[in-house]
Amino acid sequence: MSGALKDAAIRVERPTKTLRELALDKVREAIVNGYFRPGDRLVERDLCAQLGVSRTVVREVLRHLESEGLVANLPNKGPIVAQLDIEEAKQIYEIRGALEGMAARLCAERGSPEIVAALEDSLTGIRNSYRDNDMAGVLANTSSFYQTLFTMVDRHVAWGVVNLLTVRINHLRSMTIKTERRGIEGPAQMAKIVDAIRRGDGEGAQRAAMDHVAAASAIAEAVLSAQKPAE
């Protein structure tokens, strides 16, 4: 074990990203940023030109995004950017609630001060970002908040699932955090989670986490249904 760690420390960390991974990130970014809009067709050969890579790479990227749920494939028509159905979004929030609630409960039952400290770090990061109007910072710190929630109790698989689902609602997230009062209520709800964890109150931590997600879900639903008629 310690030997393996020593090796890992010495290992020359060559950024051996394959072209495919780079392209994957680019396209995913383009989708979540809204450069490609939901319903847009993703023409393989056009993507080749825009990305400067071959069809082989583009096709693999499209397959990957398809299995992530960001891209849908119409038979004999080709891939399009997946539409985010409001029903689906609600389900994704519900699942996140279940899993984040579970993780919060586990954190509370673990009763480790490091967890509380790490969570509070992220939380002050969120507050500062809100104060500076740095929305990217809010997202990043929120993400790291949940990451510690999951990984401090070694729930990497659940964290992976949450991430997988989150990319599908990413542009929703960037809209909900801009909502009025979210800069106050969001951190307050998260502080409740941290408080319950500090008290070792598993039940309360779970409920607080689920409440927080439920609030986000409600905002997302409002945003989405307000936006729907405009399309």
Partner DNA sequence: AATCGTATTATGGCGTACCAGATACTGTAG
Partner DNA sequence: CTACAGTATCTGGTACGCCATAATACGATT
Question: Which residues bind to DNA, rule: CB under 7 A?
Answer: 18-20, 41-45, 48, 52-57, 59, 73, 76-79
Q: How far is the CB of 50 from a second copy (least distance, A)?
A: 20
Return the closest-CA partner of residue 139 out of 106, 198, 110, 182. Answer: 182
Q: What is the DSSP string of 172-186?
A: HHHHHTTSTTHHHHH
Select from 125-133, 134-142, 158-166, 196-204 the region that touches a second copy (CB under 8 A): 158-166
Q: Which amino acid is at 216?
A: A
User: What does 53 interact with, of a second copy, DNA, none (CB < 5 to 8 A by kind)?
Assistant: DNA
Q: Is 82 in the site for a second copy (CB under 8 A)?
A: no
Return the closest-CA partner of residue 127 out of 188, 217, 213, 208. Answer: 188
Select from 28-36, 41-49, 89-97, 110-118 the region that touches a second copy (CB under 8 A): 89-97
Bridge-based pairing of strands 78-81 and 71-74 is: antiparallel
H-helix segments, the chain: 2-10, 19-32, 44-51, 55-68, 86-110, 113-131, 135-151, 156-168, 170-176, 182-199, 202-227
CA–CA gap between residue 43 and residue 77 (Å, rounded): 10
User: What does 227 interact with, of a second copy, DNA, none (CB < 5 to 8 A by kind)?
Assistant: none
Residue count, binding to a second copy (CB under 8 A): 28
Q: Is 94 in the site for a second copy (CB under 8 A)?
A: yes
Interacting residue with a second copy among 70, 99, 149, 193 (CB under 8 A): 99
Contact 96, 89 (CB under 8 A): no
Contact 126, 141 (CB under 8 A): yes
Q: For residues 164-193, which are near a second copy according to CB under 8 A? A: 165
Q: Which CB sits closer to a second copy, 132 or 203?
A: 203
Q: Is 27 in the site for a second copy (CB under 8 A)?
A: no
Name the residues that contact a second copy, by CB under 8 A: 16, 18, 20, 56, 59-60, 63-64, 67-68, 75-76, 87-88, 91-92, 94-95, 98-99, 102, 154-158, 161, 165
